[in-house]
Structure 1
Amino acid sequence: MRVFVIRPFGTKEGIDFERVDTDLIQGALALLRARGRPVSGGGTGLISQQGNIRDDMFRLIALSDLVIADVSIHNANVFYELGMRHALRRGHTFLIRAQSEVPYPFDLQTDRYFIYDAADPGARVPALASAIESTLAATRPDSPMFLLLPRLAPHGRGQLAMVPPGFREEVERAHNSALFGKLRLLADEASAFEWDQEGLRLVGDAQIRLRAYNGARDTFERLQRAGDDDTYADLRLATIYQRLAMAEPQHRTDLVTRSEQALARVLAGPVPGGDCVEALSLSASNRKSAWIDQLDAAPAQRQQEVTLRSVHFENMLALYLKAAGRDLNGHYAAINALAALKIRVALAAAHPGIWSAMFDDEATAHARLTSARLLAERLAATLCLALGLDDAMDSRAAEPDPWLLCSRADYLVLTPPGRPAQIERAYRKALTGADRFALEATRRNLALYRRLGLFEPGVGAALDVLDELAAAAPPVPPAPSKVLLFTGHMVDGEDRPPSAARFPRTDAACERARGLIRDAVQREIADCRGTVLGIAGGACGGDTLFHEICLELGVRTELYLALPPDRFEACSVRRGGAGWVKRYRILAGQLPTRILQTAEPLPAWLVDRPDYDLWQRTNLWMLYSALATGARDPVLIALHNRQAGTEGAGGTAHLIDEAARWGFRPVELDAAVLLDS
């Protein structure tokens, strides 16, 4: 989270603005970091040292999550930059001012200020930190321009915040290789830059395409926190929460509520037609899930009656119709609305007594049923054109998208005289080669029709094709029940002084470490009824021992290397001697191996991230890969000597701290006992 400070420099009119920045502003940001908020920031001083001050300053004024402006004195540069911020961003601009008798400028007299004592600016650090948190949480505009023109849209960030080509390429490679953990790492890394929102969209969309919904949830929630009224993030989150609700019934109520809240945020403001259609359709899908829950709770012989009386079904139909009305070419909402209308008409005809009882009199019941029939006929005719089913009117490309082909097949099921052989061919054309998500989404609707005893024999023909294609699709490997992420000290190098020893180069120390790790792994295996996966690096010392022990105990592990095997060997294995090199090479030949990057320097797009190096990156990569497995019980086993002095930035302590932040269950093994071996 970036903070940009607009302020005078030096000492002016009796105020030392350098001290105000150091003692008050930077002190408050440090306190926020201590509270767990990843904030950083400064003013134009740093930019001026790097050159190109104007371009960078204007971009940071527009893109920073928060701008703090010190308007203690009449400084033209400050007022000019503040005016730019108010013109470009609707909110999160915070004004501070030294306590003074000098009158405020006329145009700022109605604004609220944070007051500090110029003689002791640091005295109000806690108050400023709390005020900044409140400002970041606020949703109401604080820009006079956006308050005056509430429908004014902020500028497009993408015009100023360009995602580096190297980052795009890494996202593409991670997506194409289905590297879920790498995508989560890239989302974390993008968050440190001014192009964070654009980078997070790239990563989140890749995760959705891979159906990595837990990772996508984290990515789009980051994006939501970073942006103001981000419709894009809210629509994606609404879908993600829906998918997770299907997979996690124990959390369904909370997840569906979150989905509806995201959609409400979208529909509360002015949104383009396509976004509105998507939001209404997603809300209808939530009602469909609630209706399915009602069917699940009802006996099979009463499911038609439950559907006729269901308020959730009624609301679902109304939302699909509203969405279809916004865009008559939008086939997704329209095909679902047509299906709901056809269901209503068929069930009302099958249960006339129930249908009549839903209205005040027979005439009203008859009129409503007639209206539903007519609307279904009109919608079917509109869909025929929208789907390109009339060759004379089809202006679409020769190869339409798979979802359009699915809607065409659905149309044949819903509208006679769709013949079983014709329906079978349509679904086979639409879904051959499709992923499991497309197969499951299509099957969901067809299974509903079968439960209600409708639209046969077309439904039977369609389900036969779906079952055949699902059987041929690559199986989705189940998530492990438990993931063991390991970190531990390397064997001490020959040049390490005895006073700083952590893992002595002795057989006794090695056997002592082996015993500690083996006991920990055995306890975790005994405590787990399902499968266990181990993740660790390949350095000489704890990493190698962990992999060897897991092999002996029948636990599958994956070898995570910061660099290609030969380069990793040179920097993290050879220090231990020929014996460790031999053991490393055996593991590298046996285990599935993951490689983070091809050379030791960080990628060019990442070098400006402060206080970050290859080994920190590797720790986070392993952590996110462990999370991406979906294991219910993530465990960190750490062979660590807390009394051995400071470590490098990407050492064992770093991974321990990060894993604690993500909720890993810690199993810390005291490496201090190795010094007695």
Structure 2
Amino acid sequence: MSATKKRCFVVMGFGIKTDYINGRKLDLNKSYRLLIKPVVEAKGIECVRADEITHSGSIDVQMYQELLQADLVIADLSTLNANALYELGVRHALRPYTTIVISENKLMYPFDLNHVVIHSYQHLGDAIDYEEVERFRAALGNVIQTVVDKNEADSPVYTYLNSLIPPKLQAEIEKAVSESEKKEAEPEVGKALSLIIQEAEDAIESKNFAKARDLFQTAVFLSGSHTGQKDTYLIHRLAFTTYKAAQPDLVTSLYKSLELLKSIDLDHTNDPETVSSAGAVEKKLYESGEGDEHLENSILYYQRSYYLLNNRYNGINLAMTLIYHATSNLVKSDQDRIADLIFAQRTWKRVLYLCERDWAMIEQKEKNDLPLINAGGKDGQELQEYYNTQKYWILVNRAEASFGLGDFGMFEKFKEESKNIPQHTWQLESFTEQMGKLSAELKKVGHLLEPKWVAPN
């Protein structure tokens, strides 16, 4: 620890995590980067999260060292992350004060946290409103100043056991760290987990999926998979890059990806990201000719994630798999085919409703963030790219749903509007490929509908 500069250790998950109570996905990296780190550093305090710690030996030893010695700990309990809750408990047992607890405002607090002051912020899932960023930064800054200026117990352990004396284990900790660093070197020793993950994401952006896969494999190892701990976010990214790398071939990589998802309790989990990822892999296995059972699995996974999240992505893919089902060998009668078609149409109608809902929300969020966007800079540019991406997918989802419903006028309208939104080449390729598949399948069974679905000229 630095003798001249205070240090803050941030206890929280990283990446995109799911709140299993309400099914919401939260980008915790945005919480850290936008709401916490800049406020702490503005106070002249060094700020570090577990994934930023340089790996030289056991991360557990370094984590416990931070929980005991850090001048300030901020614990974000959003999504009720089990590790964060445990680490907060350890901090409360070790230090009587200088611990701040925060969370996003839809967190369902466990009973045992009712006596802990929790400062809340509003998280919109994959983004945080600019006005909320400004509000919470100011609020957190005031809390930090109060906490570091006053030696008042914020730990319920020391509040209720007011004669308890905090432990002093400096010599033991330094010995444990020293012994840990002497152990045999592991992959990417000396590099922080956050840097490895960022390199992996950069590799995805440049379409170097094999490199990204190898980096995520290292990240999974460093995060504790060799000890039985598995971070679902990293497994999701590893599964994605594994099948995108298509090595030694696509089918083999898809099966490897599926095994990774099974390792995080695919059959029983309520994590919609895990389930929808499995739906995508099973869908690709069916499209690759690996058998009808993969189509049935894909439908089940997309149904689970669609009903859990009530979102456009899973709705669009569920409808597509239902159309596949109507044209597959699994269906033996026109009556069953019609049932699939009607279910798909109901899903498309729901997708159009969700698109309308999401468009209004995105427009309002973008309006609130215009000051930051217009100011330019990295944050402004990132926000603009985020809104462009959201608008593009809403428009092509509208186009696809309209096409499936036989409303070709609206299909053309939304498709043309999507061309006015800045996009990546792969986004257009993905949409075009999906529409080609949908059109080919509907041409086989569209005549069973009333009125008949007839492909446009």
Q: Given the two structures, how large is their TM-score scaled by the length of structure 1?
A: 0.34
- Please say which structure displays the higher CA radius of gyration: 1
Identify which of structures 1 and 2 has the higher relative contact order when contacts are C-alpha pairs closer than 8 Å and 6+ apart: 2
